Every structure is written in C-alpha cells, then in structure tokens.
C-alpha cells in the first residue's frame, strides 16, 4: 500500500525541502520506490536540492491540466533508480493547481510508488492546504524556536480539519521532525528544548536533525545529505527518521558530528 506523506510547517525556511529530499533519498536507499513531489508552485526548490534542475521538461501543473502525461513529467534520479521527482512549475502561480487535478495525480502516483512525499509551500493558504489535502501522514517540520513552534501548532490544527482524511472522519497520522537543533544553544536556553517543543505540540516525535554544515554543502552539491555524506550527523538523523517512518523501532538519539571520547583518544594518539 502506497503512503502519501506531506512535509509541512506553516513557517518558511525551517527545512521542509531539505527534509523532503533527504527522507526521499533515505527511503529509496532502503529499497523503497519513492517519488518526491514539489508543491511549491512559483518557488520551486526541490529540483535544485535533488540536482535535477537541468532536466525539468514538464511539471505538476502541466500534468494536472492534462498538457503532459505523468511519466513524461517524472524525472528519475541519476544516483538511485527507484527515486523520482515530480517538479513544480516556476512560472505559474498557486491558483494554477486545482483540487481535482491534484487528486488525480496523487491517485496515479499511489499506484506506482511505495511513498509519495509532498513538499509543501510555506503558509496556510491554498498551496499548503492542497499539498496536505490527500495525505495519509503528515510530517510537521519544526525548529526549536517559538515562532516556528506556534506556526506548527497552527498547521496541526489545519491537518485535523482541512485534509480529506479529517473530513471523512478519519485521523491523519502526524509526526514531528525537529530540525536545525543546536544542543549548545538549547542548553543555554537560547533555543527551546526538545521537551518544551513536545509539550507544546503534543505530537509524537519522528526524529531530531541537528544544525549541520553538511546540509548546506549537500544543497550546494544538489545531492540529498543522506547521499552526499551518509556518515554525517544530519544524514544519520534522516536515515533513522526514514526507518521510523517504515515502522522500525529505532531508539531516539540526537546524532552529533562532535568526536566521541573514543575518537578523541585515538585522534590524539595519531596526531
């Protein structure tokens, strides 16, 4: 059974697109058939993070309007053959998407893939509500910072009222992914703690992704971080989150790039 996941947050710049690329790749690296769908019509980014920007011919809007068939618009990843991208249109605005059009595309994608991962635009307007509309599961991306947490809370409310599942009286599954976490700043109270965030949002935690230079490097390379540097803290965090999404029981840790005591001991000896 295919699973449709929306990556959402309310606030912009918290790591939705980064997480879509990293989780999409992580699931594909685990052998799943994955498509990542860019719903950020007019501000597309996912193609850049996936390194596919030079191969975009057709986009989501073209497909919903019947101007292109879905297989023509899907771009296969160069590194992982079971990973695909459905790009957004950069030239249209959000009103170009219709609910019927999106419904049709999602239904078709469900029949071909194990995972359909929808990268939502920021905001709570039409673009964001269409991205979440047909989701089975929502991943709410939150930074440990008050405005991001409040916006996430707002989005969780919308997930419980505006999605198809909610309207049908079912429950949309929701998880929290805390990104850009900085243990040092959290310890000094400059950032909210994980416990604070969980207490406020009352939503189960899927993972904690630390603030990491590797994320920036990966986006400049156009390669999801789980592929560009699988040993990095951010990549390990996304890998673990993907495993939890697949239902595996993985202990919750905050991966770190700092050297362990073991590394330090041997590092010193080698120096």
Partner 1 sequence: MSTIDQCQRNFHFRGRSFIAFALSPEPPIADWLVALGEWAAKSPGFFLGRPVVLDLMAVTLSEHAIGHLIDQLAQRGIRIMGLTGVDPAMTSEKLPPVLSGGWASEKAIGVESPTSGAPAQKEPASLLLDEPVRSGQSVHFPAGDVTILGSVASGAEIVAGGSIHIYGTLRGTAMAGSFGDERARIFCSRNEAELLAINGYYQTAEDMAAELRSKPAQAWLESTSLMIATLV
Where do contacts with Mg ion occur on this chain (CB under 5 A)? 16-17, 45
82/255 with CB nearer ligand ADP = 255
> Which one of 52-60, 153-161, 216-224, 232-240 is the stretch in contact with partner 1 (CB under 8 A)?
153-161
Q: Which of 4, 97, 118, 234 binds ligand ADP (CB under 6 A)?
A: 234
Residue 200 binds which entry of ligand ADP, partner 1, Mg ion, none, with Cβ cut-offs from 5 to 8 Å by kind? partner 1
Q: What is the number of alpha carbons within 13 Å of residue 264 lying toward its C-beta?
A: 5
Q: What is the 3-state secondary structure (H, E, C) of the chain?
A: CCEEEEEECCCCCCCHHHHHHHHHHHHHHCCCCEEEEECCCCCCCHHHHCCCHHHCCCCHHHHHCCCCCHHHHCEECCCCCCEEEECCCCCCCHHHCCHHHHHHHHHHHHHHCCEEEEECCCCCCHHHHHHHHCCCEEEEEECCCHHHHHHHHHHHHHHHHHCHHHHCCCCCEEEEEEEEECHHHHHCCCCCCHHHHHHHHCCCEEEEEECCHHHHHHHHHCCCHHHHCCCCHHHHHHHHHHHHHCCCCCCCCCCCCCCCHHHHHHHHHHC
Distance CA(122)–CA(132), nearest Å, equals 12
Considering only 4, 5, 17, 186, the residue that binds ligand ADP (CB under 6 A) is 17
- Pick the piece of the chain touching ligand ADP (CB under 6 A) from 30-38, 210-218, 241-249, 253-261: 210-218
Q: Which stretch binds ligand ADP (CB under 6 A): 16-24, 73-81, 169-177, 244-252?
A: 16-24
- Per-residue binder mask for partner 1 (CB under 8 A), 156-195, x = binder: xxx-x-----------------------------------
Tell me which residue of 161, 210, 226, 268 sits closest to 23, measured CA to CA.
Answer: 226
Residue count of the chain, please give it: 271
C-beta closer to ligand ADP: residue 108 or 153: 153
Give the contact letters, 165-204, x = binds to ligand ADP (CB under 6 A), - = no. --------------xx------------------------
Closer residue to Mg ion (CB): 45 or 186:
45
Taking contact as CB under 6 A, which single stretch among the options 126-134, 162-170, 209-217, 253-261 is the one that binds ligand ADP? 209-217
Q: Which two tokens stand for residue 61?
A: 């809007």
Instruction: Give, as ranges, the residues between 89 and 128 that touch partner 1 (CB under 8 A).
Output: 124
Rounded least distance, CB 225 to ligand ADP, Å = 8
Of the candidate residues 33, 92, 126, 154, the single one contacting partner 1 (CB under 8 A): 154
Residues that bind ligand ADP (CB under 6 A): 9, 12-18, 45, 122, 179-180, 209, 211-212, 215-216, 219, 234
């Amino acid at each position: 059974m295919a699973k449709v996941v929306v990556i959402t947050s309310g606030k912009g710049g918290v790591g939705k697109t980064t997480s879509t690329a990293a989780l999409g790749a992580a699931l594909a690296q685990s052998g799943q058939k994955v498509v990542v769908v860019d719903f950020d019509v007019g501000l597309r980014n996912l193609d850049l993070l996936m390194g596919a920007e030079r191969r975009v011919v057709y986009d989501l809007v073209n497909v919903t309007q019947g101007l292109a068939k879905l297989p023509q618009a899907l771009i296969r990843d160069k590194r992982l053959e079971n990973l695909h991208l459905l790009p957004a249109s950069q030239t249209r605005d959000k009103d170009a998407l219709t609910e019927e059009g999106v419904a049709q595309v999602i239904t078709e994608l469900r029949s071909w893939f194990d995972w359909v991962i929808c990268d939502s635009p920021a905001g709570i307007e039409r673009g964001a509500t269409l991205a979440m509309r047909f989701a089975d599961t929502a991943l709410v991306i939150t930074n440990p910072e008050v405005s991001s947490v409040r916006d996430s809370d707002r989005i969780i409310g919308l997930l419980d009222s505006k999605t198809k599942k909610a309207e049908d009286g079912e429950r949309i599954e929701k998880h929290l992914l805390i990104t850009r976490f900085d243990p040092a700043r959290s310890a000094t109270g400059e950032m909210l703690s994980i416990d604070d965030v969980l207490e406020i949002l009352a939503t189960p935690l899927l993972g904690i992704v630390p603030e990491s230079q590797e994320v920036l490097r990966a986006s400049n390379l156009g390669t999801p971080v789980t592929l560009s540097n699988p040993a990095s803290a951010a990549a390990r965090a996304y890998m673990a989150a993907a495993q939890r999404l697949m239902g595996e029981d993985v202990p919750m840790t905050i991966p770190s790039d700092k050297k362990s005591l073991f590394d330090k001991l041997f590092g010193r000896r080698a120096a």
